Structure 1
Amino acid sequence: MATSRPSSEFRFAVITDLHCAWHYLEAFITWVKQTDHPRVDAVFVAGDMLNVSHEPNNQHLAHLTGATMDPPTKSSELPTDSTADTQDYVQLLQKLDTLGIPVYVIPGNHDLWGAYNHDSPIWKNASYPNVHYAHGEVSQLTPPDLWLAGLGGSTPVILKHRPAETVWDGFPYNESSLAADLAFVQSRLECTQTGVDRSTASVVWLTHVGPSDCDTSCVNRDSRLAPSNEEEFGSQALRTHLVTLDQHPWLTNALLVHGHAHGAWGLAHLGPLRVLNPGALRDGRFAVVTLRRPLLESESSTWQIHSCLFQCLDAEPCPTK
């Protein structure tokens, strides 16, 4: 007869792509604080809280590793942030801090440059103790054998069947620089887990861009759904990285969470890995995920998805100032 182990559960909400729709941020915060549903243990923020447009000559700046670009970067000048954007982002983090639970934040391609830099005033002088910078970081979550690996930013959006045609530039990555930073995060993850029982340790990946050739990263806005107009929001470098991780059975990936592709929300598979796009909070969408460890010792001891609930808020726009 199989014996049982103590039950373990971790529940978190995921938001992404607010794009300054502040009324939905207020509605989400109200939802989390309500008591008519199970309490969430943490909130993951997958980027694009603002609507910043970055200059094209700053699109391929490697941030974490400073890797040589291929093709070479067009400019060595770093982006500058406006006072208004900085104030908006700080106020966002202050509001999230009021949730009173851990909030892990990565930036998206429409967030300001300071959101990528842990030494920027946004983070260095932080007055929001519950909010954690997660870009390029490996964070131990409340269960001691559950980890979060974060990487913000995006690569260019291309036409899926004509990959030489760029629909939108990425920021701050191209495929080669994203691959370099993914390898950097992976190395931090493996170093952090030294001395950890890897037979039970599990990892949740939090990225802004999703993997290429995945249902949660592909959008077709053509009313006729012509395949030639399908847009690939996902990154080939991210897909390659995740597939390669399957060669390391001692490091279990419980889930990848991403945003970026607003219309492709849902839950998909990349081999054995579950991939979640909660949908854009600017449209009222977010998701709540419950991870559980199986109770029976005869079953796998790693963390697995127990449930994924997609939510849609109904909120009125905030009054204009």
Structure 2
Amino acid sequence: MRCTFLLVSDIHYHLDNIKNLKNWLIQRDRLKDINFIIVSGDLVNGDYITPLTTEKDEKEFREVIDTLENIGKPLYYVPGNHDPDTSFLQSAYQGKNEDSRVMNIHNKIVNLIPGLSMVGFGGSTAAVVRKSPEQVFWPAYPRNTESLLTEKLPTLLDNVKDEIILVTHVGPTEVGTTDISNYPLRNPSIDSGSKTIRDILEKRTPLSPEDSSQCNIMFNIHGHTHYAFGLSHLGQTLIINPGSLQEDRFAILTLEQLNKEKLFVGEMQGSDRINSWSMAGLEFFIL
């Protein structure tokens, strides 16, 4: 079995780019391959410095969701630091129809298919100057995101026995996908990642493919850091930043499910898992 995800982040209310993305998928005959869409936050461009959600923010947020829904695939998203504060509520906008396949997965667990679940958590932590972490370059939103991650994310992960796709807006600190140092040129360098997410991944990633003693977080998919798109890793956990759709970037991730009996001898030794998911492909695109 294969499962393919369209990875999108940091749209910032660029509706035309969503429409162009759908056309791109259709023209290249890729739309039929997509099973799910994952959006890693910042759907709109609200003011997170003085966070007071306006009617304009709410209207634009609904427009982005509706335009994404029009791609025609199940849609899962977490809110980012530019999204309305109401997008962090359980009652957040889920789509225009009663049978909508849109879900806000902030602080939630979603079982996608047998053996594979998704855990979501939105918001951003403070970005700091690399050699002076007390110097905040831009603030967290919500302000207590780091403490919320510490309090709530481990509990969510503890309740999942499947292999996990962790979807966050902010990525882990001190990895390539959250490092703003080379492009655009920054002096000083900025680290936009979360220490809590890094600590969680370091403690819970399997240390080797056959290690089943840890919570198996296969992927951390995030956004937030526009210019650090790409692939990184912590242990066996792959970290993916698809880039900003505002700047025409997105990614397609394909997973393949392998039966335990078909794996190489010893690869899953000591594991209680019946199936294992592996990455069959990861492609980065620009419209």
Tell me the TM-score normalised to structure 1 length.
0.78
Q: 1:302 aligns with which of 256, 276, 279?
A: 276
Q: Which runs of 5+ in 1 are unaligned?
A: 1-7, 57-78, 314-321
Give the aligned CA root-mean-square deviation in angstroms. Answer: 2.3
Correspondence 1:1-321 to 2 at 5 A: 8-34=1-27, 36-37=29-30, 39-55=33-49, 80-120=52-92, 122-123=93-94, 127=98, 129-141=100-112, 143-172=113-142, 173-187=144-158, 190=159, 193=160, 198=161, 201-220=162-181, 229-246=188-205, 249=213, 251-294=215-258, 296-298=262-264, 299-300=267-268, 301-313=275-287
Alpha-carbon shift at residue 221 of structure 1 (Å): 5.6
Q: Aligned residue for 1:317? A: none
Q: Specify whether residues 90 and 230 from structure 1 end up closer, same or farther in structure 2 by C-alpha distance, changes over 3 A only.
A: same
- Return the alpha-carbon distance in structure 1 between the equivalents of residues 185 and 214 of structure 2: 45
Instruction: Give the count of matched residue pairs.
Output: 270
Q: How many Å separate the matches in 2 of 1:238 and 1:250?
A: 15
- After superposition, the C-alpha distances for 1:234-284 in whole angstroms (9 at most, x for unaligned) are 000110011111376363222110001110001011122110001111110
Q: What is the CA–CA distance in structure 1 between the aligned matches of 2:174 and 2:16, rounded to whole Å?
A: 33
Listed one character per residue, the Cα deviations across residues 97-122 of structure 1 (whole Å, up to 9, x for unaligned) are 222221101100000111111224x3
CA apart distance, 1:304: 1.6
Work out whether residues 94 and 102 of structure 2, in 8 Å CA contact, stay in contact via their aligned partners in 1.
no
CA distance in 2, matches of 1:91, 1:127: 16
Partner SS, residue 276 of structure 2: coil
Separation in structure 2 between the aligned mates of residue 90 and residue 285 of structure 1, nearest angstrom: 22
**Structure 1: how far apart are the matches of 2:184 and 2:140?**
25
Q: Which has the higher strand share?
A: 2
Conserved 8 A contact 2:49-2:139? no
Query: Radius of gyration: which is bigger?
Result: 1
Structure 2: where are the runs of 5+ without partners?
207-211, 269-274
The 1:210/1:293 distance shift into structure 2, 3 A limit, reads same
What is the one-letter code of the residue matched to 1:213? E
TM-superposed deviation, 1:224: 6.3
Contact 1:32 1:99 in 2 (8 A): no
TM-score, structure 2 normalization:
0.86
Higher RCO (Cα < 8 Å, 6 or more apart): 1
Name the CA distance, whole Å, in 2 between partners of 1:213 and 1:47. 20
Deviation at 1:167, TM superposition (A): 0.1
| Sequence identity (%) | 26
Q: What SS does the aligned partner of 1:251 have?
A: coil
